[in-house]
Structure 1
C-alpha cells in the first residue's frame, strides 16, 4: 500500500512538472503569436479630432505640393504639422504685437500674415536643395562602399544592398528603395532613373552615368569609384570651408533687416503713437523706402556670400 502511494505521489509530481513546463512554453508561444499578429495587423490607436483632421489634410491631393516642398527642404514634417506651426506662429506674433509692442489692432492682425508669408518663402528658398545637398554629402561614402564591394568580387547589385544597410538617410533610404526594386527584377538603369526624378543634382547624375557606363563597357570599377569618392570628398571639404568663411556674413544678412524693425517696435512701445506718422501720405513714402532698403540689403548680402563650387 505504501509503495502504491509513493508511486502515485511521484507520478502526480512528475505530471505537475510536465504540465508546468508545457504551460510556460504555451505562454511564450502565445506572446510570440500576439506580437506577430500585432505586427501583421496593427491596431489603430485612438486619436484626437485634431489628429484626425491632420490625417485627412495629409491625404488630400492638394497637400502633395507642400509635402514635396518639405521633402526637398529636408524637413521631417507632415503638411498638417507645418500648417499647425504657422497657425501657432501667427497667434504668437499677434499677441506680441498687440500686447507687448502696443500696435493697432488691425495692424496686429495683418502684419503677422506678411511676416509669415515672407518667412515661409525664405525658408523654402534657402532650403530648396537641402535634401540634395545632404544626399550629395554621402555620395563619397557610397562610392567607397561600392568600390570596396567591387574590389572584393561582389556585383553592383550586391554593393547597392550593402549601401542600403550601412548608410543612413537620405542616401540610405534611396538606395534601399533601389535594392528592393532590383530584387523584384527591375533593371539597374530603370531603378536609377526613378531616383533621378527626385534628385536632379549634378553630382548624382555623374555618379549614375559613371556606374552605368562602367557596367556596360567594363573596366576597373573599383578604381573609378575610388577616384569619384576622392573628388566628392574634396568638393565637400571645399564647400565646408566656404560655408565657414561666409557664415558671419550670412548671419549679418538676417540681423541687418531685423534690427531696425525691432527697434521701431520697441520705440513704439516706449513712446505712444511713435509709428502713427508712417500711415500718413509722406510717411507711407518713407515706409516703402525703408522696406525696400531692408529687402535690397538682404538680397545684396546673400548674393555676395552665395559662392557655388
Structure 2
C-alpha cells in the first residue's frame, strides 16, 4: 500500500514538473509569436487631430515639391512640420517685436511675415543641394568599398550590396535602393539612372560613367575605382580647407545685415518714436535703400566666398 502511494506521489510530482516545463515553454513561444505578429502587422498608434491633418497635408501632391526641396536641403522635417515651424516662428517674432520693441501691431505683423519669407528663402538658398554635397563626400568611401569588393572577386552587384550595408546615409540609403532594384532584376544602368535623377552632380556622373564603361569594356575595375576614390578624397579635403578659410567671411555675411536692424530696434525701444521718421515720404526712400544695401551686401559676400572645387 505504501509502495502504491509513493508511486502515485512520484507520478504527481513528475506530472507537475512536466506541466511547469511545457507551460514555461509555451509562454516563451507565445511571447516570440506576439513579437513576430507585431513586427509583421504593426498596430497603428492613436494620433491627435493635428497629426492626422499633418499626414493629410503630407500626402497631397502639392506638398511633393516642398518635400523634394527639404530633402535637397537635407532638412529632416516633413512638409507639415516645416510649415508648422514657420508659423510658430512667425508668431514668436511677432510677439517679440510687439512686446519688447513696442512696435505697432501692423508693422510687427508685416515684419514677422517678411522675416519668415526671408528665412524660408535663405534656408533653401544657403543649403541648396546640401543633400547632394553630403552624398558626394561619401563617394570616396563608396569607391574604396567597391574597389575592395572587385579585388576580392565579387561582382558589381555584390559590391553595391556591401555599400548599402556599410555606408551611412545619404549614400547608404541610395545604394540600398539600387541594391533592391538589382535584386528585382532591374538592369544596373537603369538603377543608377534613377538615382542620377535626384543627384545630377559632376562627381556622381563620373562615377556612373566609370562603372558602366568598365562593365561593358572590362579592364581593371579595382584599380580604376581606387584612383577615382583617391581623387574624390583629395577634392573633399580641398573643399574642407576652403570652407575653413572662408568661414569667417560667411559669418560676417549674416552679422552685417542683422546688426543694423538690431540696433535700430534697440534705439526705438530706448527712444519713443525713433523709427517714426522712416514711415514719412523721404524716410521710406531711405528705408528702401537701407534694405536694398543689406540684401546686396549679403549676396556679394556669399558670392565671393562661394568657391567651387
Q: TM-score, normalised by structure 2?
A: 0.99
Q: Which residue of structure 2 lines up, in the alignment, with residue 163 of structure 1?
A: 163
Q: Which residue of structure 1 lines up, in the alignment, with residue 269 of structure 2?
A: 269
Q: Secondary structure at the match of 1:229?
A: helix
Distance 2:73 2:32 in 1: 41
Q: Which residue of structure 1 lines up, in the alignment, with residue 12 of structure 2?
A: 12
Distance 1:288 1:157 in 2: 59
Distance 1:10 1:245 in 2: 85
Superposition map of 1:191-202 within 5 A: 191-202=191-202
Q: Which residue of structure 2 lines up, in the alignment, with residue 72 of structure 1?
A: 72
1:183-207 C-alpha deviation (Å, 9 max, x unpaired): 1111100100111111111100100
Q: Alpha-carbon deviation of 1:303?
A: 1.1
Distance 2:126 2:203 in 1: 20
Moved more, 292-301 or 134-143: 292-301
1:109-162 C-alpha deviation (Å, 9 max, x unpaired): 111100110110010011121000000000000000000000000110000010
Q: Alpha-carbon deviation of 1:35?
A: 0.9
Q: Alpha-carbon deviation of 1:74?
A: 0.7
Q: Which residue of structure 1 lines up, in the alignment, with residue 241 of structure 2?
A: 241
Distance 2:60 2:300 in 1: 39
Q: Secondary structure at the match of 1:248?
A: helix
Q: Secondary structure at the match of 2:169?
A: coil
Distance 1:99 1:133 in 2: 41
Q: Alpha-carbon deviation of 1:83?
A: 0.7
Distance 2:237 2:247 in 1: 15
Q: TM-score, normalised by structure 1?
A: 0.99
1:49-106 C-alpha deviation (Å, 9 max, x unpaired): 1111111111111111110000100111000110110011011000000000111110
Superposition map of 1:125-164 within 5 A: 125-164=125-164
Q: Alpha-carbon deviation of 1:212?
A: 0.6
Distance 2:30 2:61 in 1: 42
Q: Which residue of structure 2 lines up, in the alignment, with residue 178 of structure 1?
A: 178
Distance 1:21 1:183 in 2: 44
Distance 2:179 2:300 in 1: 45
- The answer to whether the aligner puts 1:36 opposite 2:28 as a matched pair is no
Paired residue total:
309
User: Structure 1: which 4+ aligned runs deviate by more than 6 Å?
Assistant: none
Q: Which residue of structure 1 lines up, in the alignment, with residue 209 of structure 2?
A: 209
Q: Which residue of structure 2 lines up, in the alignment, with residue 21 of structure 1?
A: 21
Distance 2:107 2:50 in 1: 30
Q: Alpha-carbon deviation of 1:289?
A: 0.9
Q: Alpha-carbon deviation of 1:238?
A: 0.2
Q: Secondary structure at the match of 1:181?
A: helix
Q: Secondary structure at the match of 1:265?
A: helix
Distance 1:29 1:124 in 2: 52
Q: Which residue of structure 2 lines up, in the alignment, with residue 96 of structure 1?
A: 96
Question: How big is the alpha-carbon RMSD for the aligned residues of Structure 1 and Structure 2?
Answer: 0.6
Q: Alpha-carbon deviation of 1:256?
A: 0.3
Distance 1:73 1:304 in 2: 21
Distance 2:62 2:137 in 1: 32
